[in-house]
Amino acid sequence: MPIYTYICKNCGESFELLVGLNDSGKDLKCEKCGSKNIQRTVASFNAGSGKGSSSAPSCPTCSSGTCNL
């Protein structure tokens, strides 16, 4: 089940909900004020390689594995 980010149009609260693929969405409501006047927003995400963090990209032609070009 995907996690979606919502914002309440009544109180401005931003929150995440775990939503089933077959859920109609009619029972979704704000966690803070209980309003059903909510909107799903586009969430940002990071799709990293999972090999640790490095600011320099890997380069197969350099002996060090990273280029400073």
Domain 3-41 class?
Answer: mainly beta
The residue extents of the domains of the chain are 3-41
Tell me how far apart the alpha carbons of residues 37 and 30 are, in angstroms, rounded to a whole number.
8
Strand order in the sheet with 38-41: 14-18, 3-8, 38-41
Per residue in 31-68, pLDDT (tens digit) is 899 999 999 987 566 566 555 555 555 666 666 556 65
Between β-strands 14-18 and 38-41, what pairing exists: parallel, antiparallel or unpaired?
A: unpaired
Per residue in 11-28, pLDDT (tens digit) is 999 999 888 777 777 788
Does pTM surpass 0.75? no
Between β-strands 3-8 and 38-41, what pairing exists: parallel, antiparallel or unpaired?
A: antiparallel
